[in-house]
Amino acid sequence: MPTSGCNDEEVKEVYEQLEEVMENVKEKDNLIILGVCNDVVGEGQEGDAVGKYGLGFRNNRGQRETDFCKEKELLI
């Protein structure tokens, strides 16, 4: 996963690669994505994607991660 030193284009590329990988995952399978990405999803529940016990304030990359997870029905 891209760290805070990566530019937005590199981040976009990683999310595109994740989408490609996810296309090959069968619906009945569980998918776990791990990585250190310096995203801060922050406090406050966001649908089913983010629980209500986060820390801090959501940053731009945390918002991108949250949006991606909501779109793909993933949990953070």
Q: What is the pLDDT of residues 54-68, one digit of tens each?
A: 888 988 888 998 999
Of 21, 14, 76, 12, nearest in space to 44 by CA: 76
Position 2 in a domain? no
> The whole model's pTM is what?
0.81
Distance of alpha carbon 34 from alpha carbon 24, whole angstroms:
17
CB 30 within 8 A of CB 56: no
Position 32 in a domain? yes
Give the chain's domain count.
1
Domain limits at 58? Answer: 8-72
Position 38 in a domain? yes
Tens of pLDDT, residue by residue over 12-49, are: 999 999 999 999 999 889 888 887 677 888 888 888 88
Residue with the larger pLDDT of the pair 32 and 2: 32
* Per-residue pLDDT, 54: 83
* Per-residue pLDDT, 35: 75
Position 65 in a domain? yes
Position 1 in a domain? no
Position 59 in a domain? yes
* Per-residue pLDDT, 20: 93
